[in-house]
Each structure stands twice: as C-alpha cells, then as structure tokens.
Amino acid sequence: MGAVLGDVLGFAAAVAISPLPIIAIILILATPRGRLNGVLFALGWILGLSALGAVMLAIASPAGASAHGHPATWVGALKLALGVVLVLFGARLWHRRPRDPSQAQLPKWMGAIDRLTPVKVLGLGLALAALNAKNAPLTIAASAAIGSAGLPIGQQIASLAIFVVIATLGLLVPLGVFLLGGERAKTTLGHWKDWAAQHNVAVMAVLFFVLGLKLLGDGIGILTP
C-alpha cells in the first residue's frame, strides 16, 4: 500500500493545486451565504472525486488491472493515452496563455456565483471535481494505479480516501482560513484569488505537461517491461 500511495500522492497534489476551483471557493465564501455554500462546494468536490475514483476502481478490479503483481497491459495503454492528452492540453494552454498576467480573464460562469442556490453550489463542486479536464484524467490515473496494485479491497478504499483528502486540501485551506481567520481572512483570500486568477493558465499548463510526461513514462514502463 505504501508504494501505491507514493504513486498517487503526486496526482492528488496536482488535483489540489487547481487554480479555478480555489478561485471559485474564495468567490463563494465572499457571498452572503458563504459559510454554508463554501462547505457545500467542498462537499460536492469530495463527492465528485470519490464517485469518479470509485467507478474506476469498480472497472479496474473485474477487468484484471493487475496481472501477477504487474499492472495489466490495458492499464499501461490507459496511462499512455492520458499522458498524451495531458501533454497536448499543456502545450495548448501554454501557447494560449496571456503574455501579461494582469490581462488574464476568469470564466464567465464565475460572475454568477453569488446567485447560485446551495444545491447548485453543491453541483458545481461535484462537476469541477469529476468533469474538469485536468482533475478527471488525474483521478482516473490514480484509481488505475490503485486498482493495478493487487491490493485487498479495504486497502484500495483507504488509498482512494487518502487521495481524495489530499486532493481536497486546495479547497479546505481557504475554507479553514475563512472560518478561523476573522476579518483578516478576507484580505488574505483576496490576495490568493488575485494571484490564482493571474497565473491560472500558466500553472495549469505546467501541471498538464509535467504530469502528462509522468503518465507517458508510466505507460511506456508497463507496456515494455
């Protein structure tokens, strides 16, 4: 299990460093129902990651993700495909990044955050976790790594739970600052939001590219033992 955790913690950290969800929860916390909606957003995020990871584990176990202590061929092919996708996304984002970070623009949907109902905030957190172009491949890759290790079901669930907790730290930290930081929290979170907004595309591009290369290496290693 320790070897598996060493493999998936990098994926979890990359999911946690997601500028757009961090900006989203900071904007949500600034709304009149910020305390409730912030918790619901984080809960939706946890549910999204857990559901996607659980589905992948359910697929991996019957499909024979592990063969004689070595990841199955299809796991290598999956990692190779995910690696190609992430590298291409990273190159595309880097090419399209704003040359002047101060000119970076946030997605239009963020302008409607203050009008979202609690149910929609929960759904937004779930969608950003499970359907995000970066988070979904990384969660799938992490779950494939867990499923291909040949662990007992209890250890698989525990490994996935640890992945989800680490991957949620990017939201839990701003939420904790808001709940415990008093008046100074607004200023601190405002600075974080501004930095994340300016460097969102560059950070995402680098993460895509680096993790894509890692997945490519993992896939090649499995396919060419």
Can you say how many angstroms the Cα of residue 111 is from the centroid of all Cα atoms in its chain? 22
State the DSSP code for 102.
Answer: G
Determine the length of the chain: 225
121 half-sphere exposure, CB direction, 13 A CA radius: 24
115 exposure class (CB count in 10 Å sphere: 0-12, 13-18, 19+): exposed
**Tokens at residue 88, please?**
């291409």
What is the per-residue pLDDT for 26? 92
Q: Which two tokens stand for residue 190?
A: 């405002």
Note the pLDDT tens digit of each residue in 117-169. Answer: 999 999 999 999 998 877 888 898 888 888 877 778 888 899 999 999 999 99
| Phi, psi dihedral angles at 65 (to 5 degrees) | -70, -20
Task: Read off the amino acid at residue 89.
Answer: F
Q: How much helix, strand and coil, in percent to the nearest 5, is found in the chain?
A: 80, 0, 20
Q: Is the pLDDT reported for residue 113 higher than 80?
A: yes
Q: Residue 102: its pLDDT value, please?
A: 66
What is the overall mean pLDDT for the chain? 84
pLDDT level of residue 39 (50, 70, 90 thresholds): very high
- In tens, the pLDDT along 158-200 reads 999 999 999 999 999 999 999 888 778 888 888 888 888 887 7
Give the residue, 221 or 22, on which the prediction is more confident. 22
Average pLDDT over residues 96-103: 72
How far is CA 201 from each of CA 27, 56, 62, 120, rounded to the nearest angstrom? 18, 28, 38, 25
Q: What is the pLDDT of residue 212?
A: 84
Phi/psi for 152 (5° steps) reads: -60, 155
**Interior CA angle at 125 toward 171 and 127, to 5°?**
135
β-strand partners of 213: none
